[in-house]
């Protein structure tokens, strides 16, 4: 019996009871009114519901009385071993072993689909993250946003949302000119210009540019700079994309800021059009020869200049055009994952959504990630003043790095202990979870050699307390996935996996899948193998949501 099955059974007895207290009340009770929680103390049963307390006032009956009526009505329901009233009106329910154990077969049969849900079905979400300037390698901050953003995309998709993972390429503006000048100086054997980009990687880009255009230094100064800037930009962007793919982070769209500045068939750019669209909404005005957007109408601390008096658009103009492009592409909801130094963007972007005629509280969501550091990490030899993503991967490994970065909420500062991540012990969370999965595969291989297979299934034999606890945790997985998606908190999946791994190890120590000594293979061994396979499947599914591998052997 799944939690949904149990909730339906409670609802079926609750509606006629409600009608008895207040005629017609049963029809008013929606399907979502019955919520179930796993009691912290397993002595209180497998599931608990506060539905009697929620409806008592509406029905005009004391909560304990209503709870007792529900308990009595549930008597004899197939799959329910017992039900009782606790405290001010909680209903504690214990499933019989067969009903609880049946979940093992469900998990195995659903395989990769188990845990997926439709809680966000119908939502089209644009999720933008990382979006580092294409002027240098990805650093440790980008690494955290990459791991978190990709894990958020995975749990959103697992909950039925249509998600476009997007990288916004800031390839327009003064930083690109500075980047081009830095590369050109290196190509000409000159020192880095004042305010330019330092680091050995600039010299490497210069060598790449010269290899592609041996005639670079023969060009006139303007064309020389434009060529150096463009070829270096392409090479650096390709390097960024390679680093992300190696880190198992995949983007559906790399959106170029340049395209917002380019004139379209009508002769105007997306930025020109954005200003006019905001004007149509009534939030654009002119003052001191500049064009402003009245963002204070939506909680911003000051109105924003969108075009200066000299006719030059501000960064805010590109932000506006980019936001509107997301709406134009059919994304009703936009999520931005920004770095710790972008707190000032929250009110600005929210106000922009309002000025565009959308709902700032519904259509845009801004998540601010906090800083991350690694004890003992060395600065990049190539970049000079940062800790590079590639170096971190080589040092700590993709799995350990991704798991650790996804294991904590985005808004919590994080210091990584590399010594712990390199340990092959239970003190290392990613090792602990991956080892649990590897153990399920080892059990399966040994079972096959011993002649234990999945040819029979007798769930009533899963009656040990460790089996009840393990099955209860497996039941929780779909809810954990849905909750992680709703709250944009993939760390909940990681913490769940650690609890599941602990319960599996405890079960492994108490119940044997393989026959002992001269014992003959029986239904109990085959049924336990089903539970072993179900646990391995959920561990595998959960690790996949974090972009972490599930090793067969360790």
Instruction: Tell me the CATH number of domain 101-119+424-545, given options 1.10.1740.10, 1.10.730.10, 3.30.70.1070, 1.10.10.60.
Output: 1.10.730.10
Residue ranges of the alpha helices (H) in 465-519?
A: 465-487, 491-510
Q: Looking at 325-464, which runs of residues are DSSP E strands?
A: 333-338, 364-368, 372-374, 414-416
User: Measured over all CA atoms, what is the biggest interatomic distance in the chain, rounded to whole angstroms?
Assistant: 93
Q: Are 155 and 493 spatial neighbours (Cβ–Cβ below 8 Å)?
A: yes
DSSP 269: B
d(CA 87, CA 136): 60
Q: Classify 529 as helix, strand or coil.
A: helix
The token pair that represents 74 in the structure block? 């549930």
Q: Are 145 and 339 spatial neighbours (Cβ–Cβ below 8 Å)?
A: yes
What is residue 268's predicted lDDT score, i.e. its pLDDT? 94
Q: Classify 252 as helix, strand or coil.
A: coil
Superfamily holding 124-170+250-372:
HUPs (3.40.50.620)
Q: Cα 243 to the chain's mean position, in Å?
A: 19
d(CA 478, CA 472): 12
Q: Looking at 110-235, which runs of residues are DSSP E strands?
A: 124-128, 162-169
Q: Looking at 159-214, which runs of residues are DSSP E strands?
A: 162-169
What is residue 92's predicted lDDT score, i.e. its pLDDT? 95
Burial class (CB in 10 A: 0-12, 13-18, 19+), 226: middle
Q: Where in the chain is the domain with CATH 3.40.50.620?
A: 124-170+250-372
Element spanning 359, H or E: none
pTM: 0.90
What is residue 536's predicted lDDT score, i.e. its pLDDT? 98
Q: Are 502 and 495 spatial neighbours (Cβ–Cβ below 8 Å)?
A: no
User: What is each CA distance from 175 to 88, 166, 309, in whole angstroms?
Assistant: 63, 21, 22
Element spanning 15, H or E: helix 3-21
d(CA 551, CA 432): 12
CATH no. of 3-95: 3.30.1360.70
Q: Are 532 and 440 spatial neighbours (Cβ–Cβ below 8 Å)?
A: yes
Q: Where in the chain is the domain with CATH 1.10.730.10?
A: 101-119+424-545
What is residue 517's predicted lDDT score, i.e. its pLDDT? 86
Per-10-residue mean pLDDT, the chain, length 554 = 87 94 91 86 85 93 95 92 93 89 96 96 97 94 94 98 98 94 96 93 97 96 97 98 97 97 92 94 93 92 92 92 96 93 85 93 93 80 79 92 94 88 89 98 97 96 93 94 97 98 97 92 97 98 98 95
Q: Which residues contact 482 (CB under 8 A, 6 or more apart)?
A: 117, 119, 120, 159
DSSP 45-97: -SEEE-HHHHHHHHHTS-HHHHHHHHHHHHTT-TTEEEEEEETTTEEEEEE-H
Q: Classify 309 as helix, strand or coil.
A: coil
d(CA 293, CA 302): 10
Task: Provide the β-strand partners of residue 166.
Answer: 128, 253
For CA atoms 173, 178, 183, 188, give the dihedral sign. Answer: positive
d(CA 245, CA 239): 10
Query: Which of left, alpha, beta for 303 (phi over 0: left; psi -120 to 50: alpha)?
Result: beta
What is residue 379's predicted lDDT score, i.e. its pLDDT? 67
CA contacts within 13 A on the Cβ side of 470: 32
Residue 409: CB atoms within 10 Å: 16
Beta-sheet pairing, 253-256 with 162-169: parallel
What is residue 422's predicted lDDT score, i.e. its pLDDT? 86
Beta-sheet pairing, 290-293 with 304-307: antiparallel
Q: Where in the chain is the domain with CATH 3.30.1360.70?
A: 3-95
d(CA 492, CA 106): 23
The token pair that represents 453 in the structure block? 């297979």
Q: Classify 245 as helix, strand or coil.
A: helix
d(CA 386, CA 57): 60
Phi, psi (rounded to 5 degrees) for 46: -90, -35
d(CA 419, CA 304): 47
Q: Are 14 and 30 spatial neighbours (Cβ–Cβ below 8 Å)?
A: no
């Amino acid at each position: 019996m799944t939690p949904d099955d149990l909730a339906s059974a409670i609802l079926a007895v609750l509606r006629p009871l409600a009608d008895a207290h207040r005629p017609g009340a049963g029809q008013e009770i929606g399907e979502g009114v019955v919520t179930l929680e796993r009691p912290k103390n397993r002595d209180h049963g497998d599931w608990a519901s506060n539905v009697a307390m929620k409806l008592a006032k509406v029905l005009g009956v004391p909560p304990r009385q209503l709870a007792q009526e529900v308990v009595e009505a549930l008597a004899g329901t197939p799959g329910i071993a017992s039900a009782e009233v606790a405290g001010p009106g909680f209903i504690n329910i214990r499933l019989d072993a067969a009903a609880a154990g049946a979940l093992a077969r469900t998990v195995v049969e659903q395989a990769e689909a188990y845990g997926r849900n439709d809680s966000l079905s119908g939502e089209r979400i644009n999720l933008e993250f990382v979006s580092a300037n294409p002027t240098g390698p990805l650093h440790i901050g980008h690494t955290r946003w990459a791991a978190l953003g990709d894990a958020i995309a995975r749990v959103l998709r697992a909950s039925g949302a249509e998600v476009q993972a997007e990288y916004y390429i800031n390839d327009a503006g003064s930083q690109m000119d500075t980047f081009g000048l830095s590369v050109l100086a290196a190509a000409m054997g000159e020192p880095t210009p004042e305010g330019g980009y330092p680091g050995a990687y600039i010299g490497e880009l210069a060598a790449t540019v010269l290899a592609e255009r041996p005639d670079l230094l023969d060009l006139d100064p303007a064309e020389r700079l434009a060529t150096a800037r463009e070829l270096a930009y392409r090479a650096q962007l390709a390097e960024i994309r390679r680093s992300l793919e190696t880190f198992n982070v995949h983007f559906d769209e790399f959106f170029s800021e340049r395209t917002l500045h380019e004139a379209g068939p009508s002769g105007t750019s997306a930025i020109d059009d954005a200003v006019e669209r905001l004007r149509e909404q009534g939030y654009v005005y002119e003052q001191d020869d500049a064009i402003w957007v009245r963002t204070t109408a939506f909680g911003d601390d000051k109105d924003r200049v969108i075009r200066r008096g000299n006719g030059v658009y501000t960064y805010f103009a590109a932000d506006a055009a980019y936001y509107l492009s997301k709406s134009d592409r059919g994304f009703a909801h936009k999520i931005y994952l920004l770095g710790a130094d972008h707190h000032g963007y929250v009110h600005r972007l929210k106000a922009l959504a309002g000025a565009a005629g959308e709902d700032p509280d519904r259509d845009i969501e801004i998540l601010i990630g906090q800083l991350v550091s690694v004890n003992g990490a060395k600065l990049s030899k190539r970049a000079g003043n940062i800790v590079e993503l590639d170096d971190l991967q080589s040092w700590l490994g993709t799995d350990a790095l991704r798991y650790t970065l996804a294991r904590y909420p985005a808004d919590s500062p994080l210091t990584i202990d590399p010594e712990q991540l390199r340990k092959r012990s239970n003190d290392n969370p990613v090792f602990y979870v991956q080892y649990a999965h590897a153990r399920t595969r080892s059990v399966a291989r040994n079972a096959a050699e011993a002649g234990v297979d999945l040819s029979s299934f007798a769930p009533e034999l899963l009656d040990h307390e460790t089996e009840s606890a393990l099955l209860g945790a497996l039941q929780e997985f779909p809810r954990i996935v849905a909750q992680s998606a709703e709250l944009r908190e993939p760390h909940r999946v990681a913490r769940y996996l650690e609890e599941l791994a602990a319960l599996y190890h405890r079960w492994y120590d108490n119940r044997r899948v393989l026959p002992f000594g001269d014992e003959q293979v029986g239904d109990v061994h085959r049924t336990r193998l089903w539970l072993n396979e179900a646990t391995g499947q959920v561990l595998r599914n959960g690790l996949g949501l974090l972009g972490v591998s599930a090793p067969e052997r360790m």
